Amino acid sequence: MKEPSSPDRNPIYEQWARLGKALASPKRLELLELLIQGARTVEKLAQLTRMSIANTSQHLRVLHAARLVETEKKGLYVTYRPGDPAVSDLLRSLRRLAETRLAEVQRIAQGFAESQHGFEAVDQRTLARRIKEGSVVLLDVRPHEEYLAGHIAGAISVPIEELAKRMKALPHRRGIVAYCRGPYCLLAVKAVELLRARKFRAYRLEASVQDWRARGGAVVSGDAK
């Protein structure tokens, strides 16, 4: 028997496609990755992505039209943020699917891992236990505004550019674990390099704040630890 046609289906797919079209740009994906770390202005996003303000604004308009980001005006500046917490889940699922299904992504991930040869990574369960025991110090080496927007419970904010001058306050007798924006972020890698050069027992946490939350870990905002 021939399956009856459903005239109501196509409009639904068209609306879903709006999201797909908005995501079909490396730069827009990069913008979303930055925004899930914390709200930012067009000017700051342009600086971080090395795009012009005009190009950044154009990409943000596309994301805004698809309801993936929202805006808030404060004085002369417009701040952008994810339109829904599900945006973070969407990007995380997209990353994991790409790692599983795309050979090119697998090669990139393998190359990244090989470049970090000798850098031991700490898994979430082990780290949670060590934080509870007090045997490690957890450093959030992202910019401070990202820490304030949301960070792993127990972490200390030490932006990478401040790490060298703040090392004297770190204990040599305890392990140091650094994290940043996820498995492909280089800030934590640089932090571990700097710490090990000063004889600290330093390790890298590959998970982002969003990964940590998705796996049931506690995340807090502001200056709370």
Question: Domains in the chain, ordered, with CATH?
Answer: 10-88 (1.10.10.10), 111-220 (3.40.250.10)
Residues whose CB falls within 8 Å of the CB of residue 147, separated by 6 or more in sequence, listed in order = 140, 155, 157
For residue 119, pLDDT over 80 is answered with: no
Pair of tokens at residue 152: 């792993």
DSSP 8-state class, residue 4 = P
For residue 71, pLDDT over 80 is answered with: yes
> Each residue of 28-54: pLDDT tens digit?
999 999 999 999 999 999 999 999 999
Whole-angstrom distance, CA of residue 201 vs CA of residue 195: 8
Question: Would you place residue 123 in the very low, low, confident or very high pLDDT band (cuts 50, 70, 90)?
Answer: confident
185 flagged as catalytic: no
For residue 8, pLDDT over 80 is answered with: no
Active-site hit among 63, 180, 187, 205:
180
For residue 191, pLDDT over 80 is answered with: yes
Q: Where are the alpha helices (DSSP H) in 50-102?
A: 53-65, 86-101
Burial class (CB in 10 A: 0-12, 13-18, 19+), 69: buried
